[in-house]
Amino acid sequence: MVSGVSNFENESSWVSLNATQDELKAAYRRLCMLYHPDKHRDPELKVQAEQLFNLVHEAYEVLSDPQTRAIYDIYGKRGLDVDGWEVVERKRTPAEIREEYERLQKEREERRLQQRTNPKGTISVGIDATDLFDRYEEDYEDTAGGGVPHVEINKMHISQSIEAPLTTKDTAVLSGSLSTHNGNGGGTINLALRRVTSAKGWGEVEIGAGDTHGPLFGMKIFRNLTPRFFVTAQCGLQFSSRGVRPGVTTVLARHLDKNTMGYLQWRWGIQSSMNTSIVRDTKSSHFTFAMQLGIPHTFLMMSYQYKFQDDDQTKIKGSVKSGFFGTVVEYGAERKISRHSVLGATVSVGVPQGVSLKIKLNRASQTYFFPIHLTDQLLPSAVFYATVGPLVFYLAIQQLIIRPYVRAQKEQDLEKQQESSASNIARKKQEAESAVSILLAYMLLQCLIILNAWYGKFVTDNSRKHERAKVIDVTVPLQCLVKDSKLILTEATKSGLPGFYDPCVGEEKSLKVLYQFRGVMHQVLSGDTEPLRIPKQSHRIDADT
């Protein structure tokens, strides 16, 4: 809205950020005197001064109004660009203005929300690579191409969901999935309607259908009981050829401290169980401990994740899970490889599960998951290649693809940013150059400039015209003695000044100075030992003539 506000208010030499209205007026007058077009005779400087004068005037209009100044002080220029301020009651306090700004921002966000969906998706591709490590060579001796290990895709899962805001409180979520495993597959589709009932809770109704489980009807509610305690309850009915199978799930959660949550879950129906867990999440680590009693799965699980404080958001993690199904140890790492992408790899070693490598790529709201089953047994070679292989592959991809891509992306972003701000930079540069030109002209008008200075014997009497003047040029030495546009010489011979010498020993000497001050010519003749102080009004040439 106002490009000159920051230049006017943040310039400490003119006015402080906490300046009063009187200080603002005084600074405004000074700037107007400096940039007023009528004070410049040069046509080019006159045009430049007019542009700067208009910027100062616009800035003063914002800062002199208590309401617009409060908006600018709180939110800057972006606050002035928000629509709706024209209908806001004037003479409000900064706190009221802040509240009003948040309301206007919320209305704009709601309008934007109604035009936006939030797509999320997952693609999972299961790969069976057990033939790489666990095979009998004699079985393939008589088979064409038998020397090449057989790697196949044995399962795949695709899911996608979108959210459609219906009102500020109601949201519809449409989701679907397709799955296949060893040649058999199926799909489901679900529709959920969610309504925010209050600031403390929401409710959801879900209906679904599929060719493997049949129709589904469910309800879910969430409620904050206290600021540190909430509950989630879910119930559903699954219809199939075997009849109706009900299910109920309840989760109680409580904040144990600032970074720790405790959960208690009870599930009845399909795979009934009771689960309790503690999750601690800090800036540098994430820890989880869980215990479950249930049919068919009962287990203990503990996991830890360390977060490096770097730009790539690197994380390393490890977990141990043990139960009736056996024991599984997992370790891995993940790292941000671009602005919207995170790549992770996890090695899973278990009894009797064997060795698996899980690769996951998160790209914005899409997830790509590739579980690779390497062997059904605990083979050291499988563990070694599952650990070293992804690391070597990542380093190669990092050097050959990711870094060149990121570098090229940054260059493109920088080029786009420079192109988008080229006009603004050119305008700012022009304003700065105009200000420099005007300030230079102003400085020359305000400063004391020694045009010519001579020291020695001057012949001023007509009867002594036959005598030759004996003077030296002391313009430069005298200009160097000027400080704060003032020149002060004491009662002493001037031949001892830096850059001076006596051109006529034993004769009467004087100092003649022609100088300019505030654009007006001055001249003075001073005796050798007389004190001299310039500038003075009496030295003006136009006053003497």
Task: Please calculate the CA angle 230-235-240 and round it to the nearest 5 degrees.
Answer: 155
Both 466 and 344 in one domain: the answer is: no
Indicate whether 111 belongs to any domain.
no
Mean pLDDT of the region 92-101: 64
pLDDT at 136: 55
Categorize the per-residue pLDDT at 101 as very low, low, confident or very high, splitting at 50, 70 and 90.
low
24-54 residue pLDDT tens: 888 778 777 777 777 777 777 777 778 778 8
pLDDT at 78: 61
Both 348 and 441 in one domain: the answer is: no
Both 58 and 180 in one domain: the answer is: no
Q: What is the DSSP letter of 131?
A: G
Region of poorest pLDDT, from 38-47, 172-181, 247-256, 482-491: 38-47
Task: Specify which of 112-116, 185-189, 208-212 reaches the highest per-range mean pLDDT.
Answer: 185-189
CA distance linking residue 274 with residue 320, whole number of Å: 19
pLDDT at 284: 92
Both 295 and 436 in one domain: the answer is: no
CATH number at residue 339: 2.40.160
pLDDT at 11: 41
Both 439 and 380 in one domain: the answer is: no
Q: Which secondary-structure segment (H or E) carries 286?
A: strand 285-294
pLDDT at 91: 47
Please check whether residue 343 is in contact with residue 363, taking contact to mean a CB–CB distance below 8 angstroms: no
Expressed as residue numbers, the domain containing 295 is 118-133+151-388
Both 33 and 159 in one domain: the answer is: no
pLDDT at 85: 45
Region of poorest pLDDT, from 352-366, 425-439, 474-488: 425-439
Indicate whether 372 belongs to any domain.
yes
Categorize the per-residue pLDDT at 74 as very low, low, confident or very high, splitting at 50, 70 and 90.
low
Indicate whether 39 belongs to any domain.
yes
Hey, how many other C-beta atoms are within 10 angstroms of the C-beta on 299? 19
**Of all residues in the chain, what percent are helix, strand and coil, respectively (each to 5)?**
30, 40, 25
pLDDT at 17: 66
Question: With a threshold of 0.75, does the pTM exceed it?
Answer: no
Both 308 and 359 in one domain: the answer is: yes
Categorize the per-residue pLDDT at 90 as very low, low, confident or very high, splitting at 50, 70 and 90.
very low
**Tokens linked to 333:** 């790492």
Indicate whether 6 belongs to any domain.
no
Please check whether residue 350 is in contact with residue 327, taking contact to mean a CB–CB distance below 8 angstroms: yes
Indicate whether 10 belongs to any domain.
no
Question: Cα-Cα-Cα-Cα dihedral of 350, 355, 358, 359, to 10°?
Answer: 150
CATH number at residue 63: 1.10.287.110
CA distance linking residue 420 with residue 4, whole number of Å: 20
CA distance linking residue 114 with residue 171, whole number of Å: 10
Both 252 and 333 in one domain: the answer is: yes
Domain finish residue from 64, 79, 94: 79
Both 49 and 127 in one domain: the answer is: no
Hey, how many other C-beta atoms are within 10 angstroms of the C-beta on 535? 18
CA distance linking residue 412 with residue 364, whole number of Å: 20
Indicate whether 247 belongs to any domain.
yes
Both 350 and 426 in one domain: the answer is: no
Both 368 and 428 in one domain: the answer is: no
pLDDT at 23: 80
Both 179 and 322 in one domain: the answer is: yes
The total of structural domains in the chain comes to 3
CA distance linking residue 104 with residue 81, whole number of Å: 11
Indicate whether 90 belongs to any domain.
no
Task: Specify which of 35-39, 229-233, 236-240 reaches the highest per-range mean pLDDT.
Answer: 229-233
Question: What average pLDDT does the structure give for the chain?
Answer: 82
Indicate whether 307 belongs to any domain.
yes
